[in-house]
Structure 1
Amino acid sequence: MKPTSFITAALLRFSVLLLLGVALLKPTAAQADLVRLTAADNGKQVQLNVGDQLTLLLPTISPRFGWRLTQTYPGQLTVTTTNVLPGLSSGVPGAPATIEIHFQAVGTGGLELALVSAQPGTSYSSLNGFFHVFITIDKPGVAKNVNITEYGNHSQVKVNQGDQLAIRLDNTVGSQYTWEVMPITDNVVQLVAPPAEQLRTRKKSKKKAKPGSEEDVTFQFQALHPGKTTLRFLYRSAANNEAPPKRDFELEVEVPEPPK
Structure 2
Amino acid sequence: MKLLPFIPGFRPRLRLGIWLATLLIPIAFLRPTLAQADIVTLNANDNGKQVQLNVGDQLTILLPTISPRFGWRLTQTYPGQLTPTITNILPGVNSGVPGAPATFEIHFQAIGTGGLDLTLVSAQPGTGYASLGGFFRVFITIDKPGVAKNVNITEYGNRSRVKVNQGDQLAIRLDTTVGSQYMWEVMPIANQVVQLVTAAPTSSLKKPKKKAKVGSDEDVTFQFKALNPGKTTLRFLYRNAANNEAPPKRDFELEVEVPEPPK
TM-score range for the pair, normalised by the shorter chain length: 0.7 to 0.9
Say whether 1:102 aligns with 2:102: no
Which residue in the other structure is 1:249 paired with? 252
Q: Distance in 1 between matches of 2:131 and 2:106?
A: 20
Bigger helix share: 1
Instruction: Report the alpha carbon displacement of residue 61 of structure 1 after superposing the two structures with TM.
Output: 1.5
RMSD of aligned Cα (Å): 1.3
Deviation at 1:127, TM superposition (A): 1.2
Aligned to 1:213: 216
> For the pair shown, which has the larger CA radius of gyration, 1 or 2?
1
- How big is each residue's C-alpha offset from its partner over 1:84-105, in whole Å with a ceiling of 9 and x where there is no partner? 1111110101211111000000
Partner in structure 1 of residue 12 of structure 2: none
8 Å Cα contact 1:231-1:250 kept in structure 2: yes
Equivalent position of 2:175 in the other structure: 170
Structure 1 residue matching 2:147: 3-state secondary structure: coil
Letter in 1 for 2:246: A
- 1:15-60 per-residue CA deviation (whole Å, 9 max, x = no partner) reads xxxxxxxxxxxxxx74211100000000111111111100000111
Q: How does 1:48-197 map to 2 (within 5 A)?
A: 48-197=53-202
- Contact in 1 for aligned 2:202/2:222 (Cα 8 Å): no
- Give the alignment's TM-score, normalised by structure 1: 0.86
Is 1:226 the counterpart of 2:229? The answer is yes
Q: Match for 1:97: what amino acid?
A: A
Partners of 1:68 and 1:239 lie apart in 2 by 39
How far is the alpha carbon of 1:240 from its aligned partner?
0.3
Residues of 1 paired with 2:204 and 2:254: CA distance? 23
Displacement, 1:119? 1.5
For structure 2, the residue ranges without an aligned partner over 5 or more in a row are 1-33
Q: Which moved more, 1:118-127 or 1:242-251?
A: 118-127
Q: CA deviation at 1:194?
A: 3.7
Moved more, 100-109 or 205-214: 205-214
Q: Is the 1:81–1:102 contact (alpha carbons within 8 Å) kept by the matching residues of 2?
A: yes
**Aligned residue in 2 for 1:237:** 240
Pairwise CA distance, 1:125: 3.2
- Percentage of matched positions with identical amino acids: 82
Aligned residue pairs total: 230
Kindly state the Cα deviation for residue 124 of structure 1 after the two structures are TM-superposed: 2.6
